[in-house]
Amino acid sequence: MNRIEKAFARAREENRAAFVSYLCAGDPDFDSSVEACRAIIESGVDILELGVPFSDPLADGLTNQLAAQRALESGSNSERVLDLVRAIRAFSEVPIVFYTYYNLVFAQGSEAYAERAKSAGVDGILTLDLPPEEAGEHLVACARHELKTVFIVAPTTPDSRLETICGATTGFIYYVSREGVTGEQAAMSEGIASQVEQIKQHTALPVVVGFGISNADHVQTVAQAADGVVVGSAIVNCIAENPTNRQAMSNSLRAKMDSLLEGNALAKIQ
> What pTM was computed for the model?
0.94
Interatomic CA distance for residues 262 and 141, integer angstroms: 40
Tens digit of each residue's pLDDT, the chain (270 residues): 899 999 999 999 999 999 999 999 999 999 999 999 999 999 999 999 999 999 987 777 788 999 999 999 999 999 999 999 999 999 999 999 999 999 999 999 999 999 999 999 999 999 999 999 999 999 999 999 999 999 999 999 999 999 999 999 999 999 998 554 444 455 566 789 999 999 999 999 999 999 889 899 999 999 999 999 999 999 999 999 999 999 999 999 999 999 999 999 999 986
Q: Catalytic: 83?
A: no
In sequence order, the 6+-apart residues with CB closer than 8 A to the CB of 14 are none
Asked if 266 and 218 count as a contact pair (C-beta separation under 8 A), the reply is: no
**Which of 29, 49, 123, 184 does the annotation list as catalytic?**
49
Residue pair 233/186 in contact by the 8 Å Cβ criterion? no
Write down the pLDDT at residue 60.
79
Burial (Cβ within 10 Å: 0-12, 13-18, ≥19) of residue 161: middle
The answer to whether the CB of 229 falls within 8 A of the CB of 21 is: no
Tell me: cis bond preceding 155? Omega within 30 of 0 counts. Answer: no
* Catalytic site includes residue 60: yes
Sign of torsion, CA 203 17 123 214?
A: positive
Give the pLDDT confidence score for residue 181 in this predicted structure.
Answer: 47
The one catalytic residue among 27, 46, 60, 123? 60
CATH for 3-261, among 2.30.30.30, 1.10.10.10, 2.40.37.10, 3.20.20.70? 3.20.20.70
**Residue boundaries of the structural domains of the chain:** 3-261
Q: How many whole angstroms separate alpha carbon 260 and alpha carbon 128?
A: 25
Using DSSP, state whether 156 is helix, strand or coil. Answer: coil
Q: Radius of gyration over alpha carbons of the chain, in Å?
A: 17
- Could you give the CA distance from residue 98 to residue 258 in angstroms, rounded to a whole number? 24
Tell me the three state secondary structure of residue 253: helix
Q: Are 257 and 235 in contact (CB under 8 A)?
A: yes
CA-CA distance, 173 to 169, in Å (whole number)?
7
At residue 187, the pLDDT reads 54
